């Protein structure tokens, strides 16, 4: 086997690992370059040739990465790589990488077998939830009464107190409502990770779901979204690759 | 086997966006996935991307003032707003109850924290009007 010189200005952008035999034909990644798979011992590294002399990662590259990884997640299990990794443009090295880490890859693929991730986010209609807080929390109601005629934007201590009271009451309400949502959802998922949400988010969760359970989960969430729609909007994204279930793995 | 199509067109409250917008992608994948630094030749992560994720919530005076302003802007007499129990009651009345999954029927109990309510009968139920906190709950049976 001839030793080929590794071009120093081209690398292999790395998207993740899938089972060998996965069809990657027609997938295009960063710079619209065709995706390839490098196979070794039942595993396949998903890569594409990448010119290395370039400015730091930009949004179109992030989108391309997600597009490739999520397209594969629709049809097979994938261990998704973090954005931005380029290996040497050397098939032997890539195969060596699969060899070194093969057992770990196989263990993760097995754990993910038949499952996909979905992201669930429920967000309060802010006016509605703030109205509830005023109606249900006497402290908030009183501070609101006291501060109604103060000029906005000026940090009067009572305004700050009102904001703090709202924040505390909102946290209590969010905790309760999030629990209710999780009670509905958790019986239908294999695993979940609760993520940090925005100010008016009720819940932001990554769900790991068995594929056959997905239609029923969607059905429950559609019913839920209708029932709660005056208080919150419910958003479900996916199936996507199991990004949140890699347990913070650092390899190599 | 249930047919899903009619459900999609009736109501459609669940947002199901394709995960392709930049904001979605950033939320979904930035800093997620396996890290293989020991094998990596070049890293593409740059500063431009790190500033896109703007959903970090910092408790601060600014946050509190924003909450205060939003609360003071409310027009309470305009905003009726059903609480969750009323919304479920209406849904049941309208005959839409059948499309609500089994788990959601239990939502009412959880939200109100009431243990006395018996929602398990699927037959005709008398009209229930569950109150907001300022009015007494009325329970009518039979």
Residues ≥6 apart with Cβ < 8 Å to A187: B103
Quick one: pLDDT band at residue B110, thresholds 50, 70, 90?
Answer: very low
pLDDT at A250: 65
Tell me which residues of chain A have a pLDDT lower than 70.
1-8, 56-57, 152-153, 248-252
User: Using one digit for the tens of pLDDT, what is the confidence trace for B123-132?
Assistant: 333 333 333 3
User: Using one digit for the tens of pLDDT, what is the confidence trace for B18-76?
Assistant: 866 677 787 778 778 888 877 887 777 654 555 444 455 556 788 888 899 899 988 87
> Which regions of A3-143 does DSSP assign to beta strands (E)?
10-19, 36-40, 43-51, 79-80, 85-88, 115-124
DSSP 8-state assignment for residue A43: E
B chain contacts of residue A221, beta-carbon cutoff 8 Å: 14
Phi, psi of A69 (to 5 degrees): -65, -45
Closest-CA residue to A199 (of A120, A119, A121, A123): A123
A62 contacts B25? CB cut-off 8 A: yes
A230 contacts B44? CB cut-off 8 A: no
What ipTM was assigned to the predicted interfaces of this complex?
0.82
Residues ≥6 apart with Cβ < 8 Å to B63: A163, A167, A199, B57
pLDDT at B59: 61
- What is the spatial distance between Cα B119 and Cα A182, in angstroms, rounded to a whole number? 20
Locate the chain A residue with the closest alpha carbon to B12. Answer: A222
pLDDT above 60 for B133: no
Answer yes or no: pTM beyond 0.90. no
Look up tokens 């302003």; give the residue. B69
């Amino acid at each position: 086997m001839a030793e080929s010189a590794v071009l120093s200005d081209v690398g292999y952008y790395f998207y993740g690992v899938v089972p060998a035999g996965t069809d990657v034909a027609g997938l295009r990644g960063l710079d619209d370059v065709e995706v390839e798979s490098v196979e070794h011992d039942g595993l396949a590294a998903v890569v594409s040739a990448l010119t290395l002399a370039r400015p730091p990662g930009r949004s179109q590259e992030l989108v391309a990465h997600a597009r490739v990884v999520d397209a594969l997640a629709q049809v097979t299990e994938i261990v998704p790589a973090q954005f931005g990794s380029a290996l040497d443009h050397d098939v032997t090295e890539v195969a060596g990488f699969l060899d070194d880490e093969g057992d770990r890859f196989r263990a993760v693929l097995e754990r993910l077998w038949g499952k996909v991730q979905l992201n669930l986010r429920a967000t309060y209609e802010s006016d509605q939830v703030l109205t509830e807080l005023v109606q249900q929390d006497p402290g908030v109601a009183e501070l609101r009464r006291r501060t109604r005629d103060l000029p906005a934007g000026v940090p009067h201590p009572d305004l700050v107190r009102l904001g703090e009271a709202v924040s505390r009451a909102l946290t209590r309400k969010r905790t309760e409502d999030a629990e209710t949502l999780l009670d509905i959802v958790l019986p239908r998922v294999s695993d979940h990770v609760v993520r940090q949400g925005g100010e008016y988010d009720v819940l932001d969760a990554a769900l790991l779901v068995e594929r056959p359970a997905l239609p029923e989960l969607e059905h429950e969430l559609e019913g839920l979204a209708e029932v709660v729609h005056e208080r919150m909007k419910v958003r479900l994204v996916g199936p996507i690759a199991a990004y949140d279930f890699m347990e913070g793995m650092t390899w190599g | 086997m249930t047919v899903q199509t009619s459900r999609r067109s009736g109501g459609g409250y669940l947002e199901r966006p394709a995960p392709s917008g930049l904001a979605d992608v950033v939320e979904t994948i930035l800093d997620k996935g396996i890290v293989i630094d020991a094998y990596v030749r070049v890293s593409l992560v740059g500063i431009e991307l790190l500033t896109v994720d703007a959903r970090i919530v910092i408790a601060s005076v600014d946050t509190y003032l924003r909450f205060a302003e939003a609360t003071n802007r409310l027009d309470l007499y305009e905003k009726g707003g059903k609480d969750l129990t009323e919304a479920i009651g209406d849904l049941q009345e309208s005959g839409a109850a059948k499309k609500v999954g089994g788990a959601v029927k239990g939502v009412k109990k959880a939200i109100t924290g009431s243990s006395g309510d018996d929602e398990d009968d699927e037959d005709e139920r008398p009209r229930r009007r569950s109150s907001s906190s300022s009015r007494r709950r009325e329970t009518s049976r039979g």
